[in-house]
Structure 1
Amino acid sequence: MITSPTNSQNARKVMIRLENLTKRFPGQKHNAVDDLTLDIYEGEIVVLVGPSGCGKTTTMKTINRIIEPTSGRIILDGDDVTSADPDQLRRRIGYVIQQVGLFPHMTIGENVATVPKLLGWDSKRVSARVDELLEMVNMAPAEYRDRYPKQLSGGQRQRVGVARALGADPDVMLMDEPFGAIDPITRDRLQNEFLRLQSEVRKTIVFVTHDIDEAIKMGDRIVILQEASRVAQYDTPERILTAPANEFVADFIGKGASLKRLNLSHVSDIDLTQWPTVRTNADHTEVRNMLRGSAFGAVLVLDDGGRPSRWVGAEDLDGASGRPLSELGLEPGVTVRPTDTLSDALNELVAAPYGVAIVTGSNGAYQGIVDINQINGAIRSMRSTAAQANSGSAYGAGVATAGGQP
């Protein structure tokens, strides 16, 4: 049993408190959730993660009482909702599931409007809220409002699921493996988009996943659960990676902790390297002169808006007299943004032309590049920090564990 994260949060408001929460299903000898006490603070994403069958989804579903607890109390924003009307409770809490669960016979707009309509909002207010939310999840209302779920891709349906959960502007959201059924590329993009959205709306979110990498990327704090939702460690991702509380946590994290830490740092945290650039109207002689004696194998061609257009090397200019730079060389490939993690940048630079990840701003304009030397430097810095944090302890000093024992 554990009541709060390791580091002091006395100044923070507790949005969700689970007190001695227990759940035993009929016919079972053991509790699915066993005497769990947990504080979740306002505006944070708290990720429940653990091996299959540990009770993480059961714990989450007791918060909005889709699953009724056998005993214990659920406190939501200071109110004891353990015996409140469950329908009214659920209208206060947004809920996103893996398979989205959109109503197939209803349009996207009607799906997003579900909870506001149940709350009796007038039609003008509902319509404005639907458009606001679709814009928020980057789906133009005029294009998507009147479509049906079957006309959308999996990633688009997941966005609509998030918009619907935000329908009545709830303070709390529950997310049950929301990105688990989506292909890896789309999942990464949705994760990044959701983190951007969370930076704006600052909801209190309980997020369930079985993937420790996703937990590290998404969580402000992580609860690593053992059997029956017993807490092995409740802490920040950085502390869990650098100071695991016990052998169970260390084993659950697995190897490659240095690479996992790249999910904790963002492109904006490092100084970008600059690459030689020219505009699309530059002549071939200018490009040759720039590359002559340079350590760089190509220039990055930028369009009139400063956006990456092409990679052009000296060999691309041979026999290309008179042709514009915009027709030569290679496409720039996928770019990353300052809000993306260093793990995202590493994924892109491994397969990118010239082994670098191009960084662009929100308007798509070039800002710089990330290369492998910068990634290595970030890892060395993290290792140094971890060594200092773990000094004198095999599993880190002062880390809270199940039962509240340090």
Structure 2
Amino acid sequence: MSHTPNAASGHADASVMIRLEELTKRFPGQSRSAVESLTLDILEGEIVVLVGPSGCGKTTTMKMINRIIEPSSGRIILNGEDVTSKNPDHLRRRIGYVIQQTGLFPHMTIGENVATVPKLLGWDAKRVSARVDELLTMVNMDPAEYRGRYPKQLSGGQQQRVGVARALGADPEVMLMDEPFGAIDPITRDRLQNEFLRLQSEVRKTIVFVTHDIDEAIKMGDRIAILQEGSRIAQYDTPERILTAPANDFVKDFIGAGASLKRLNLSRVRDIELGTWDTVTTADSAETAHSTLSSSEYSAVLVLDTDGRPVRWVTADDLRRIDGRSLDQIGSAPQAVVEPRATLSDALNELVAARYAVTVVVDEQGRYLGVIDFDQLNEAIRSMRSTAVAEARSEFAAHDSSQEGPS
């Protein structure tokens, strides 16, 4: 079984956007190299996640790509061009950079922050303004509402969105992201991860993403490099391969227990058949809701507005106390809601705290599509486990056959 650093099975038609050749960094006064002879190919349009224990050199590696840290030796090839000794300022304008605390300039408005690199490149004011509005819209922030605000007027999640927009300012070939969602609460982090994956499906940038969290790596990465001390590669592979065929004990230990649950980060809500739930609309009467509930196997009905968006859970007790109100004025608001691009892990996280043991699935316009329950997630895990076992057996048989040779 091969786990070479440059393994790129299934991507023979993809081109290499970033090539690191024998990249090494030795800091003065240190007995060991922070990065030692790292060789790595990163394919165009992929998210490659560098993950490993603290001190393994993952952030140092990333910072050498845009020469914030200068390598001691080795080469950095960007889209076929050796940029190891090029002007670092010119190089950085070709690369978007997102860090954990966003790095927004506090004295500049959101619009001015996003415009930073286009202005440095000498774009005219009209073009800069149009690009700012385009990018804010792209990260789901209304330009009219946010362009003139300052960073301190935004939440942490909003600031992180602006950081991503700024990094995309001049439409760079490459983006570097250093723990971009690490300082945000778990709920906001999940939503930002999903939002970024949606954005990446549209812009298809080549991204180097640093994290210490293997679950985030599995969710975000097309390919993951698990690094040991000195940025030595323990395994460079797809998330599926790393979970089902870890290269060695270091990788197994780093993944940790619960590989089956981690596989939920590999599948998305759109990949499974959704369940159904009894629904009524806000235009329906209380009698209609009561009739629907009486013939239902569930303890509540889901009320949809006239556009098909979930607005309330309503129980028999709620209907008894309706007191002349409409269906959208009683019951409780749905809390566990995901979109099809969310991972099954996201669906499980919502499900754990869900009032009626289901996660509601809606489309991008918020319209009801169906539900997910625990049985569906269990079936998804069993299916992924069976597939992994079958693939491992097939690979083992192929390996044995190749070892036997001709008779």
Mark yes or no: TM-score above 0.5.
yes
Aligned 8 A contact 2:275 2:372 in 1: yes
User: 2:213, 2:260 → 1: CA distance?
Assistant: 17
Per the alignment, residue 343 of structure 1 pairs with 345
Deviation at 1:293, TM superposition (A): 4.5
Tell me the TM-score normalized by structure 2.
0.94
Root mean square deviation of aligned Cα: 1.8
Per the alignment, residue 85 of structure 2 pairs with 83
Aligned 8 A contact 1:112 1:163 in 2: yes
Equivalent AA in structure 2 for residue 230 of structure 1: R
Aligned 8 A contact 1:6 1:234 in 2: no
Q: Secondary structure at the match of 1:281?
A: coil
Per the alignment, residue 203 of structure 1 pairs with 205
Deviation at 1:10, TM superposition (A): 2.6
User: 2:323, 2:185 → 1: CA distance?
Assistant: 43
Are the structure 2 counterparts of residues 313 and 164 from structure 1 closer, same or farther at C-alpha, using a change threshold of 3 Å? same
User: 1:335, 1:168 → 2: CA distance?
Assistant: 34
User: 1:206, 1:96 → 2: CA distance?
Assistant: 10
User: 1:146, 1:278 → 2: CA distance?
Assistant: 42
* Per-residue Cα deviation, 1:82-138 (whole angstroms, up to 9, x for no partner): 111111111110011111111111111111111111111111111111111111111
Are the structure 2 counterparts of residues 372 and 81 from structure 1 closer, same or farther at C-alpha, using a change threshold of 3 Å? same
Q: Secondary structure at the match of 1:355?
A: coil
Per the alignment, residue 382 of structure 1 pairs with 384
User: 1:127, 1:188 → 2: CA distance?
Assistant: 30
Equivalent of 2:356 in 339, 347, 354: 354
Aligned 8 A contact 1:2 1:38 in 2: no
Aligned 8 A contact 1:243 1:397 in 2: no
Per the alignment, residue 55 of structure 1 pairs with 57
Per the alignment, residue 98 of structure 2 pairs with 96
Equivalent of 1:146 in 145, 148, 152: 148
Deviation at 1:42, TM superposition (A): 0.2
Per the alignment, residue 402 of structure 1 pairs with none
Deviation at 1:389, TM superposition (A): 2.7
* Per-residue Cα deviation, 1:203-262 (whole angstroms, up to 9, x for no partner): 000000000011011101000000100000001111111111111101000011111111
Deviation at 1:291, TM superposition (A): 2.6
Per the alignment, residue 291 of structure 2 pairs with 289
**Alignment pair present for 1:215 and 2:217:** yes
Deviation at 1:327, TM superposition (A): 2.2
Are the structure 2 counterparts of residues 321 and 143 from structure 1 closer, same or farther at C-alpha, using a change threshold of 3 Å? closer
Per the alignment, residue 403 of structure 2 pairs with none
User: 2:54, 2:178 → 1: CA distance?
Assistant: 14
Equivalent AA in structure 1 for residue 309 of structure 2: R
Deviation at 1:165, TM superposition (A): 0.6
Higher relative contact order (CA 8 A, sep 6+): 1
User: 1:338, 1:320 → 2: CA distance?
Assistant: 33
**Alignment pair present for 1:304 and 2:310:** no
Per the alignment, residue 230 of structure 1 pairs with 232
Aligned 8 A contact 1:307 1:365 in 2: yes
Equivalent AA in structure 2 for residue 323 of structure 1: R
Are the structure 2 counterparts of residues 13 and 237 from structure 1 closer, same or farther at C-alpha, using a change threshold of 3 Å? same
User: 1:136, 1:39 → 2: CA distance?
Assistant: 29
Aligned 8 A contact 1:115 1:168 in 2: yes
**Alignment pair present for 1:276 and 2:278:** yes
User: 2:296, 2:133 → 1: CA distance?
Assistant: 51
Structure 1 unaligned spans of 5+ = 399-406
Tell me which moved more, 344-353 or 87-96.
344-353
User: 1:55, 1:319 → 2: CA distance?
Assistant: 62
User: 2:171, 2:322 → 1: CA distance?
Assistant: 57
Per the alignment, residue 262 of structure 2 pairs with 260
Equivalent AA in structure 2 for residue 82 of structure 1: T
Structure 2 unaligned spans of 5+ = 401-407
User: 2:164, 2:29 → 1: CA distance?
Assistant: 36
Deviation at 1:397, TM superposition (A): 7.3
Per the alignment, residue 188 of structure 1 pairs with 190
Deviation at 1:3, TM superposition (A): 4.3
Tell me which moved more, 248-257 or 302-311.
302-311
Per the alignment, residue 404 of structure 1 pairs with none
User: 2:249, 2:84 → 1: CA distance?
Assistant: 35
Equivalent AA in structure 2 for residue 196 of structure 1: R
Aligned 8 A contact 2:6 2:41 in 1: yes
Tell me which moved more, 330-339 or 170-179.
330-339
Deviation at 1:195, TM superposition (A): 0.6
Per the alignment, residue 365 of structure 2 pairs with 363
Matched-pair identity in %: 72
Aligned 8 A contact 2:5 2:233 in 1: no
Aligned 8 A contact 1:274 1:369 in 2: yes
Q: Secondary structure at the match of 1:391?
A: helix
User: 1:77, 1:207 → 2: CA distance?
Assistant: 18
Are the structure 2 counterparts of residues 85 and 269 from structure 1 closer, same or farther at C-alpha, using a change threshold of 3 Å? same
